[in-house]
Amino acid sequence: MIREENSLKKNVAIPEVLAADVDSGATRRFASIPAEGEFKIIEDPMANFLRDKWRALVIFIAIGAAIFYAVGVYRSTQLTAQQSSGDSFVGLQRTFSQLQELNEKAPETDAKLIEQRATEKAELEKRFESQVKSLSFANAPYANLSAVYQTLNQIKSPDGKNIRTQILTEARFLNTTTAAGLDKVTQELLYFAAARAEIDIDVNAARAALLKLADHGEYAAGSSVKTLIKIADSDETRAAAIVAEEKLLARKPELSADLIEKN
């Protein structure tokens, strides 16, 4: 019997927490178990937070998702609008070119052809004005560019004398206070276009305007000098063009001399 007990003690694994009590013959075999009243409930702070604030969290997530969706829709709409405006602007440029080609054609002598050209021009002008009006509501830069093309079309039209005179007289590009940045580029472009269109009507007025732009312009000065050299028809006008070129290169040395086209 004693052998069986010893054998049982050898074969049965005794938990470590009870080993000391068993070996010492103590009668308290469950000393590691807390006594009644010593248990403590440890609460999870995250679980408490979710339990108390779940409604606010749901609302917050819903608002965030709504904002994210709204921003995505806005960006998509903006991109679509920009692409549409770009396509419309290309159409405006095409119509503008067609109008200029029509205006530069030699006059017709046949009555039927005269009528056909008048009809074609009326249709192009109607389409052009519709495109300008449509782009006037577009985002930058298309609204501004469409207005520039509208003025250019007026400048180059056979009836554009008044608008050309107004632009050349006002010379808004000289006023750096009101014509700064992009607006200054626009004003110089329109002034240069008006001066070019005036060459076939009053070459002396056109030459005077181009000289002013060459002396005071920032963006179209080089083109003005090139044009002055092209239209020079005497030693005096050629010399004036060369002087304008030298003054421009002294004022803006970053312009290389080989960019100025010489005869």
Residue 146 and residue 132: Cα distance in Å, rounded?
A: 5
Query: Whole-angstrom Cα distance, residue 227 to residue 196?
Result: 8
Among 127-141, 197-211, 213-227, the least confident range: 127-141
Q: Quick one: pLDDT at residue 18? A: 46
pLDDT the model gives residue 181? 59
Tokens representing residue 47 in the block: 């679980």
Lowest mean pLDDT among 25-39, 195-209, 222-236: 25-39
DSSP the chain: -HHHHHHHHHHSPPPHHHHHHHHTT-S-TTTTSPPTT-------HHHHHHHHHHHHHHHHHHHHHHHHHHHHHHHHHHHHHHHHHHHHHHHHHHHHHHHHHHHHSPPP-SHHHHHHHHHHHHHHHHHHHHHHHHHTTSPTTHHHHHHHHHHHHHHHSTT-HHHHHHHHHH-GGG-TTTS-THHHHHHHHHHHHHHHHHTTT-HHHHHHHHHHHHHH-SSSHHHHHHHHHHH--SHHHHHHHHHHHHHHHHH-TTS-GGGS---
Domain chopping of the chain, boundaries: 73-159, 160-263
pLDDT digits (tens, 9 = 90+) for 138-193: 877 788 888 889 999 989 887 888 999 999 999 988 886 655 556 888 899 999 99
Q: Which of 220, 199, 89, 100 is nearest to 153 (CA)?
A: 100
How high is the pLDDT of residue 19?
47
Mean local confidence (pLDDT), 236-248:
93
- What's the burial of 1, exposed, middle or buried (CB within 10 Å: 0-12/13-18/19+)? exposed
The overall pTM is greater than 0.75: no
Q: What's the pLDDT tens digit per position in 27-83?
A: 444 445 555 555 556 667 777 777 777 788 788 888 888 888 787 776 777 666 667
Tokens at residue 138, please?
């577009």
150-to-129, 139, 170, 180 alpha-carbon distances in Å: 8, 17, 18, 21
Confidence (pLDDT) at 110: 85
